[in-house]
Structure 1
Amino acid sequence: MTRTQKTVFILAAVIAVILGLTINKVLSSKGQGDPTALIDAGIILLPQSRNLPDVKMTDQDGQPVAMDGLKDKWSLLFFGYTFCPDICPTTLAQLRQIKSELPPEAVDKLQIVLVSVDPNRDTPKQLKQYLGYFDPQFKGLTAASVEDLQKLANAVSIPFIPADTSKPNYTVDHSGNLAVIGPDGTQRGFIRAPLNNQKLVAQLPEMLKHK
């Protein structure tokens, strides 16, 4: 990772900490209960929801998906790619384990979505095969261009650094954080990396109770 890339991720980490402290204060002042347990589990809820950009995506079945129409369930968006050597398989394995330990009523309200940051290689077929190794119910999304992906990633404050696709076996620098999308199709918050399985199993059902 270059010095510039390291700087970007350090700044992102600092912003996340500041954001967490600010939201903690806002939620406490609104009398919405003690958010300490959620924050301790890495779940940061926004004081105001954010609309998603109208970016056209394609799912693992080759079907078009409008991001601003992602509704009905809570969604955890993870920005990664199928050729990722480390953070992606680890995170997806953790999400599979967390899902397996959640109560059935929580599982029914939740979906896991891998948003590919590598549209050059991640075709719908590749996404479907890869996600099948973890959980066939996990969803995969890809876009026609890196620009569309960056528009979405920047909107939910989980940026990534596009790869130099001319290099063989290239990798893509990206965050391990998750974007939390509510059933109304707006961003409700974040889940910070690294994921804590035990705490998330305990607190995700509490998050899903929010309207």
Structure 2
Amino acid sequence: MKKKVLVVGVFMMALVLSACSGGFKADHHYSIAPFEFTNQNNEKVSLDDLKGDIWLAQFVFTSCTTVCPPMMSNMAELQEGLEDKGVENYKIVSFSVDPEVDTPEKLGEYLTNFDVPDPAKWEMLTGYKMEDISDLAVKSFKMPVIDDPNSDQVIHGSRFGLVNKEGKVVKTYAGNVDVPFDTIVKDMKALSKED
């Protein structure tokens, strides 16, 4: 009887320890195609430059009249949560889906509209053709980017993509409405501790 109690006790302790360890569990392992784009400071940023950091990706554009302003506000709120939890080695990468209009200067100005806690963590990227960003979004992030020929708007995915230190998309989350803020911060904190 004592042996049975001991085995059950050890099993229960293992369960508690695994639940408390806060380990990260990936939903995907999407490879991101290599890129080198231009950020809001007119600096080149490549996939290799981002390796070693975890990052949250989104697809937005400055003249968006629907999902982009809430996505940007939600990302700023997420950054507050990351700062509160002491997560430091991360980036927020915003790919413009309207690269002909969104110059680095315009993207830099757009970022100032959202009261972000630490603008240095943001890479607002442009400097490519529409086909390039559409390919990257669909193939690497499994999100659509479609130019609307009847307006100045672009149809695009509104999810946030979490990218690990090796440059793989490991999870996606709602970015516009019903954003799971606590889950994203928790996941990023757990992922930032992994080697």
Are 1:78 and 1:177, in contact at CA under 8 Å, matched by a contact in 2? yes
Aligned to 1:105: 86
Q: Equivalent of 2:27, from 20, 42, 46?
A: 46
Counterpart CA distance in 2 for 1:203 and 1:180 is 9
Instruction: Say if 1:187 and 1:206 are closer, same or farther in 2 by CA, change over 3 A.
Output: same
Are 2:54 and 2:188, in contact at CA under 8 Å, matched by a contact in 1? no
Instruction: Say if 1:67 and 1:203 are closer, same or farther in 2 by CA, change over 3 A.
Output: closer
Aligned to 1:176: 158
Aligned to 1:141: 125
Structure 1 unmatched ranges of 5 or more: 1-32
Counterpart CA distance in 1 for 2:185 and 2:36 is 32
CA RMSD of aligned residues (A): 2.6
Are 2:39 and 2:123, in contact at CA under 8 Å, matched by a contact in 1? yes
Instruction: Say if 1:65 and 1:203 are closer, same or farther in 2 by CA, change over 3 A.
Output: closer
Deviates more, 1:140-149 or 1:121-130: 140-149
Q: Secondary structure at the match of 1:119?
A: coil
Aligned to 1:74: 54
Aligned to 1:160: 145
Counterpart CA distance in 1 for 2:183 and 2:171 is 17
Q: Equivalent of 2:74, from 85, 94, 97?
A: 94
Counterpart CA distance in 1 for 2:25 and 2:153 is 28
Structure 2 unmatched ranges of 5 or more: 1-17
- Structure 1 position 150 matched with structure 2 position 130: no
Are 1:53 and 1:151, in contact at CA under 8 Å, matched by a contact in 2? no
Deviation at 1:123, TM superposition (A): 0.4
TM-score normalised by the chain length of structure 2? 0.74
Instruction: Say if 1:50 and 1:175 are closer, same or farther in 2 by CA, change over 3 A.
Output: closer
**Which one has the largest radius of gyration?**
2
Aligned to 1:29: none
TM-score normalised by the chain length of structure 1? 0.69
Counterpart CA distance in 2 for 1:57 and 1:65 is 5
Counterpart CA distance in 2 for 1:44 and 1:149 is 28
Quick one: which amino acid aligns to residue 181 of structure 2?
A: N
Q: Secondary structure at the match of 2:166?
A: coil
Are 1:51 and 1:68, in contact at CA under 8 Å, matched by a contact in 2? no
- Number of equivalences: 168
Counterpart CA distance in 2 for 1:78 and 1:44 is 21
Counterpart CA distance in 1 for 2:130 and 2:185 is 33
